Amino acid sequence: MAAWWKRLVRPQDVVWLVLFSALAILSPTRTSVEIVILSVLAVFQVAEPRIAWTGTPRGRVGSILLKLTLGYLLIGFTGGINSSYYLILLLPVVSAATTLGGVGGTLLTATACLAYLSQLLFVDWTRYSLPPEAWRELSLRIAFLGTVGYLTHVMAEANRVQARRYQAVAEQLAEANRNLRAAEAAYRRTERLAALGQLSAGLAHEIRNPLGTITASAEVLRRKVPAGDEVAAELAGFICSEVDRANTIITRFLQFARPLVLRPRRSDLAETIDRAVSQLERVNPKLDVAVYRNYSPDIAPFHFDPELMESVFYNLLLNAAQASPSGGTVTVKTRRLDSTVEIAVIDRGAGIDPRNTESVFNPFFTTKPDGVGLGLAIVSKVVDEHGGKLALESELGKGSVFRVYLPSDRFGAEAEEAVERNRQQQQARDERRP
């Protein structure tokens, strides 16, 4: 019940009602018109915050003009220029100074002063005159209205500035809080992934040992199988091929799971790509795809890890070749972009479904029946470690373009030495582990 009354009746409402009641009681004339105008002003002053229309720009101007009109009428009916109610004009002046800003408050204050001075038009100058003391009093009243309006505007503007500062600080704190929660969540995910990676890497190492035994046993069995037993020879071949496939998967997984140690040195980009092309042709002789090389001549040797980047280009070329039709072409194009070097691997194959373009670099995501889904994940990891970026453009039925952006000025001699020191420290820590 108490909360309901607090929502219905505000403390300032009681103050307004007491104030206007005192004005009506203390008035020497207390005419009916005077009481009616004071009552309307009191009711409107209390009800104004509860009226939705007064919260709009037009509503605020309308409510201020209504107060000015009622105040003008009250002054006119209670003595005109000599009325003790001239201070009632402070209601519209203060309201304008707090809600209409500097220009609006100044215009309204000037209007209120002119409205008060217009009461002189109703004076019978044939019977009355204003001595110098009266003019000084009139000037003081006008100056008082202007002073109150200006000071109110200054205070209101200071409050608005302070409120904007508090709002900006609150937004910054909210953004920082969101970033902190996101960082905490990312840190927890990183810890879980790191633990999972260590566990998986250890498990992969353990699996490799029995795979070696299985491979050796299968080779012995295949050699000892009688020449006429084709079924046994075929089964032994299956064992060897599947073990080799499992070993390849484990090798690629370990490449992805273990931390990368960059060994950047000044290397020629074209030579690195050429080695990747040669490896593609040597390892996959059945791929009926031609590789065209379009190298920019203005790319000088720069610092990067040639072995890791060779694996990046090999994976991209292999994907492009596998996506291309028989007799198709794959193009490797390089160009310089300020302090960045772009390497584009272009194929004219089937393209990638737009629903999968955001997932192709995720580990274990693949659309190939016999794929593992680690090739592009390793590519992304190596490029990230170099401080570069990967971009994919693809259209179904027209092919794909994988773009690698490498910074050509990230690694210098000092960075190369620092990376080598980190590698040696990491190697020493690995040797100390039980």
DSSP readout, 37-51?
Answer: HHHHHHHHHHHGGG-
Burial state string for 290-320 with b = 16 or more CB within 10 A and e = fewer than 16 = ebeeebeeebeebbbbbebbbbbbbbbbbbb
Instruction: Please say whether the dihedral angle defined by the alpha carbons of residues 379, 380, 381 and 386, taken in this order, is positive or negative.
Output: positive
More confident residue, 354 or 168: 168
**Does 328 share its domain with 216?**
no
Give the mean pLDDT of 380-385. Answer: 85
Domain boundary among 61, 90, 121: 121
- pLDDT at position 82 is 85
347 in a structural domain = yes
Lowest mean pLDDT across 33-47, 282-296, 416-430: 416-430
**Does 109 share its domain with 197?**
no
Give the mean pLDDT of 1-12. Answer: 62
**Does 210 share its domain with 277?**
no
- By CB atoms closer than 10 A (0-12, 13-18, 19+), residue 168 is exposed
CA 393 to chain CA centroid, Å, is: 24
Burial state string for 72-90 with b = 16 or more CB within 10 A and e = fewer than 16 = bebbbbbebbebebbbbbb
CA-wise closest residue to 64 among 191, 152, 168, 187: 152
For residue 429, what pLDDT band results from cuts at 50, 70 and 90? Answer: low
CA-wise closest residue to 385 among 320, 308, 324, 332: 308
**Does 334 share its domain with 292?**
yes
59 in a structural domain = yes
For residue 257, what pLDDT band results from cuts at 50, 70 and 90? Answer: low
**Does 424 share its domain with 358?**
yes
Give the mean pLDDT of 308-319. Answer: 90
Lowest mean pLDDT across 216-225, 258-267, 326-335, 414-423: 414-423
Domain boundary among 210, 235, 257: 257
- Domain with residue 220: its CATH number is 1.10.287
- By CB atoms closer than 10 A (0-12, 13-18, 19+), residue 24 is middle
| pLDDT at residue 124 greater than cutoff 90 | no
| pLDDT at residue 371 greater than cutoff 60 | no
- pLDDT at position 333 is 94
Interior angle at CA 234, CA 230 and CA 240, nearest 5: 145
| pLDDT at residue 248 greater than cutoff 90 | no
88 in a structural domain = yes
| pLDDT at residue 362 greater than cutoff 80 | no
Burial state string for 229-246 with b = 16 or more CB within 10 A and e = fewer than 16 = eeeebeebeebbeebeee
Ramachandran assignment for 251, one of left (phi > 0), alpha (psi -120 to 50 degrees), beta (any other)? alpha
Residue 76: domain span: 2-121
Please tell me the pTM assigned to this model.
0.47
- Rounded Cα gap, residues 189 and 277, in angstroms: 37
| pLDDT at residue 189 greater than cutoff 80 | no
- The count of domains in the chain is 3
425 in a structural domain = yes
More confident residue, 188 or 175: 175
Q: Percent of the chain having pLDDT more than 70?
A: 82
**Does 200 share its domain with 280?**
no
- pLDDT at position 398 is 86
**Does 241 share its domain with 322?**
no
Tell me the pLDDT of the chain averaged across its residues.
81
Residue 252 token pair:
């690629």
- pLDDT at position 268 is 92
- pLDDT at position 368 is 62
146 in a structural domain = no
Lowest mean pLDDT across 58-62, 105-109, 220-224, 327-331: 220-224
More confident residue, 165 or 430: 165
- pLDDT at position 369 is 56
φ and ψ at residue 259, rounded to 5 degrees: -65, 140
419 in a structural domain = yes
Q: Are residues 116 and 141 in contact, defined by beta-carbon separation less than 8 angstroms?
A: yes
**Does 269 share its domain with 337?**
yes
More confident residue, 244 or 306: 306
**Does 224 share its domain with 281?**
no
290 in a structural domain = yes
Q: Are residues 386 and 406 in contact, defined by beta-carbon separation less than 8 angstroms?
A: yes
- Adjacent-strand bridge partners of 400: 347, 394
| pLDDT at residue 195 greater than cutoff 60 | yes
Q: Are residues 305 and 264 in contact, defined by beta-carbon separation less than 8 angstroms?
A: yes
- pLDDT at position 203 is 67
* Cβ atoms within 10 Å, residue 164: 10
For residue 1, what pLDDT band results from cuts at 50, 70 and 90? Answer: very low
- Rounded Cα gap, residues 252 and 313, in angstroms: 15
- By CB atoms closer than 10 A (0-12, 13-18, 19+), residue 424 is exposed
| pLDDT at residue 363 greater than cutoff 70 | no
**Does 226 share its domain with 336?**
no
**Does 315 share its domain with 426?**
yes
- Rounded Cα gap, residues 130 and 72, in angstroms: 21
**Does 82 share its domain with 104?**
yes
Domain boundary among 63, 96, 121: 121
- Domain with residue 278: its CATH number is 3.30.565.10
| pLDDT at residue 261 greater than cutoff 50 | yes
149 in a structural domain = no
